[in-house]
Structure 1
């Protein structure tokens, strides 16, 4: 916070305010009644209140016995998360609520995103729906969808038959 300019006094002329502790955002707010961060949020969100899209990052992998989904969901509560599996369609949706803002708050950066999200994935056949489990811990969703035993890979042992052994012995 030491790098942030501090505005001192309100009775000085506009020129002296520009020469001391230059804050372009504060100057735009003062001169034009314009808050660039708020306006950008309105443009993106299309409404009065800034709306930033919350798009969580997912990691999806297949192991020999299951499908593993991981998602970064910081600030999402268990109650705000919905996971459904319908046929071969997995849908993960939820929301991250904005924090309470006071009228007197002054933001220097507003980069965190909030809002609702929904992601859907098409799964291959053979998911064991009865044994799926999900855990939300430390802002990371871990979802494990085990495969049915009949679709898991089976190792076939390679060996020699007795007929081949006898044929080699005669030659």
Structure 2
């Protein structure tokens, strides 16, 4: 159904003012659906038997531009994507790349080994590995 929305709007079959009101509601709550909002990296969170893995897309950022902290069960990733210096002779017709500072926070489950947390970056992807403590690792429970 979502694929048909632009075509329905184009044909005038879907009232645009109602959608504008809907979009503004999300903007008021700061949920970031508007296209002119600041840049925020996308995250994936995965879990396997021994660890949690957080992966973030951070193209164009050096590791020096990223700050990662884990405090009271809250993993916070902060950084800044700096805009390249524009030459005075260049005339830009379209600028689609986003710049600015960002901050993303995730609640981390209990049972993470804080001493074993590792982070690495390669090819514009940040990978944070949060190992589970021995107590949190999955154990098979036999039914008697």
- Normalised by the length of structure 2, the TM-score is 0.71
Deviation sequence 1:56-91 (CA, Å, 0-9, x none):
111111212111100110011111100000020100
Distance in 1, matches of 2:103 and 2:71, equals 15
1:14-163 pair list within 5 angstroms: 53-158=38-143
Distance in 1, matches of 2:99 and 2:52, equals 28
Q: CA deviation at 1:158?
A: 4.9
Q: Which secondary structure state, in structure 1, belongs to the residue aligned with residue 135 of structure 2? A: helix
Q: Which secondary structure state, in structure 2, belongs to the residue aligned with residue 61 of structure 1? A: strand
Q: CA deviation at 1:148?
A: 0.4
Distance in 2, matches of 1:125 and 1:53, equals 31
Asked if the contact 1:66/1:146 (under 8 Å) is kept, the reply is: yes
Distance in 2, matches of 1:82 and 1:98, equals 18
Q: Unaligned stretches of 5+ in structure 2?
A: 1-35
Q: Which has the higher strand share?
A: 2
- Normalised by the length of structure 1, the TM-score is 0.60
Q: How many residues align?
A: 109
Distance in 1, matches of 2:93 and 2:49, equals 48
Distance in 2, matches of 1:158 and 1:118, equals 45
- When Rg is computed on C-alpha atoms for both structures, the one with the higher figure is 1
Q: Unaligned stretches of 5+ in structure 1?
A: 1-50, 160-171
Q: CA deviation at 1:52?
A: 6.6
Q: CA deviation at 1:156?
A: 2.6
